Each structure stands twice: as C-alpha cells, then as structure tokens.
Structure 1
C-alpha cells in the first residue's frame, strides 16, 4: 500500500499541516483524529490496515491531516479565541486542502470520517460545507462543543456547533449526503448519537444510526466499523 508523508502549508493557519496519504487514486476519504490525536494515529492504531483492501484496489485514497485541537478546543485560552482558531482550521480545509483533492473523482466531492471527538470535526466540516461532502462516517462521534466554551456563546459558536445549527440548516446537499452515526450500547457517546439522530430525524435528513452491541468506546469498535462504512461508498 502506497504511503506518503507531506506537509501542507496553510496561509490561514500560518504554518504547515502534517499529513499522511494512503493510496494513489480512488474516492478521497479524509479521516479526522480523536481528541488530541495526530495525523499518524489512524495508521498506528490499525485503522488504515482495516481498509487496506479498498486502498490497494484503488477504490479509495485516504488522507489523514493533523488536527489543531491542542491549539483551539483544548488550549488554555478564551473561548472566543478557541472558536477563531477552529474557524482558521475550517478555512484551511475548505479553501486550501479539500479543493486539491475533491476532483480526484468526477463527483467533485469527498467522504469524511471522524473518530470520537474527530466525529465533531468531520460533522462540523461536512454540515458547514455539504457541497463538498458526499459521505459522512461518524465513529462514536460527539457533536456539541458547549462544554469547551465555559458559558461563552456567539454566532461563531452557533455556526460551529452541529447540535445547534443543524436545526436551521437548509442547504439541499444535506438531504443528499450519505450519513452514518456509528455507536454502541457501551459507548460513552451513545447518548450524543441518539440525540443527534433525533435532530436529523426531525429535519427529515436521511441517515443510519448504527448502534452495535456491547463494545466499549475504543479502537476495536472503530476497526470493525470503518471498513463496513467504506464499503458503502
């Protein structure tokens, strides 16, 4: 399986973003890491090997960009600055990175996957920019960032909190997106997925709430989920 390390300079962030890419062609799949995970996390934890079959046959090409969660949501800074920093990351994705890969296939769209808090990253990007995203795979995702804001709330908070802004969403691309909310009976994010699924149901946004058996919020669950979801692209 072809693997490449790159550093993508972002003018919005003012620094290079480290990234691993697997495969040379195929449907672009962007995987966002967990809470403070890095660009090599998916490889080190076996997630890339779980979809090796699809990569080696050219069905998908996997991109694992680094996050900046340590400099935004988990940084010891004012909540307003957390939001501003995350918006810079969103602009990096939307204006600098994704345009470079979205035309790898005729659809001009990508698939997004996120693990745990990475589910927030994937969902926030996909729902803010649904014209770019065809498939959204949440693996034990979380969708509400209010706990990081310590009571602070403004327009930037609203438009970067999927649990809130989904209620006012109207882009027709959302109703065409293939959305999976993956969780399990023992998942610490089960309740978050049940609540978010209900929000989507009320908006009549089609999705699959995949609640698996008695499996913990951990890598064995996600290694089982991802190849299943990728097979549906």
Structure 2
C-alpha cells in the first residue's frame, strides 16, 4: 500500500500540521480524528487495514488530517468565543489549504468525509456549512 507522510506550515493556524495519505488513486476521503485524536489514529485503530483492499485497488484514497480540538471545543480554559475563533481558523485551514491540496492530487471534484466522535461533527459540519465545496459525508 502506498503511504505518504506530510508535515507543513499552516498560515491559517500558525503551526505545523501533519497528515498521512493512504493510497495512490481513487475517490478522496478526508478523515477527521476523534476527540483529541491525531492524524495517525485511523491507522492505529485498524481502519486503514480494514479498507486495504479498496485502497490497493485504487478505489479510495484516505487523507487523514490532524485536528486542533484541544485548542477549540476541548479547551475548557477558554471561553466559547475564543474556542469558536480557533475553530474558524481550523475551518480556513481545511477549506483554503487542505481541500485544494487534495483536489490537486485527484481527478475527482467531490470529496467524501468521515470521522468518529468529534471527527463525525467535523465531517458533517463541513458538509452543512459549506455545501458549495460539494463534500459528501460518509459517517
């Protein structure tokens, strides 16, 4: 299975962001980690292994992204406005930086999204808030 690791500076978040790409081709699936999880948890929880035949066949390609949940909704020392502001910066990272990167690697215009726990919130949130990006959820 083709696996790539990426680490890049995000001007939206003012920090390095990490991600993994599983597969060489196929429908792009943006994977959000669970509450406080990281970009590698989909592999740790054997979800990549469970989908390996689809990945190897070039049917799907997973893009597992890092979250900033610990700086947003899980950061209880910040007020709601501060947490929401940081979440908006994360949304900008996803929409202005990550989605264009994924689209540059795939001939598919639509993306699928998936996630568990708070990751499911992110997957559905991007679909409902910004339907113009034509993201299709897979929860």
Give TM-score scaled by structure 1 length: 0.57
5+ residue gaps, structure 2 = none
Q: Aligned equivalents of 1:106 and 1:4: distance in 2? A: 19
Q: Aligned equivalents of 1:103 and 1:110: distance in 2? A: 12
Using the TM superposition, give the Cα deviation of residue 135 of structure 1 relative to its aligned residue in structure 2, in angstroms.
2.1
1:1-233 correspondence to structure 2 within 5 Å: 1-75=1-75, 76-138=77-139
CA contact (8 A) 1:9 1:16 kept: yes
CA contact (8 A) 1:20 1:40 kept: yes
Give TM-score scaled by structure 2 length: 0.93
- Most deviating of 18-27 and 104-113: 104-113
**Which consecutive segments of 4 or more residues in structure 1 shift more than 6 A?**
none
Provide the aligned C-alpha RMSD in A.
1.3
Q: SS where residue 131 of structure 2 aligns?
A: coil
5+ residue gaps, structure 1 = 139-233
Query: Max radius of gyration: which structure?
Result: 1
Using the TM superposition, give the Cα deviation of residue 106 of structure 1 relative to its aligned residue in structure 2, in angstroms.
4.0
Task: List per-residue Cα deviations over 1:141-181 (Å, max 9, x = no partner).
Answer: xxxxxxxxxxxxxxxxxxxxxxxxxxxxxxxxxxxxxxxxx
Q: How many residues align?
A: 138
Q: SS where residue 7 of structure 2 aligns?
A: strand
CA contact (8 A) 1:10 1:92 kept: yes
Using the TM superposition, give the Cα deviation of residue 127 of structure 1 relative to its aligned residue in structure 2, in angstroms.
1.4
Q: Aligned equivalents of 1:91 and 1:111: distance in 2? A: 18
Indicate the structure whose relative CO is greater, using CA pairs within 8 Å and at least 6 residues apart: 2
CA contact (8 A) 1:32 1:64 kept: yes
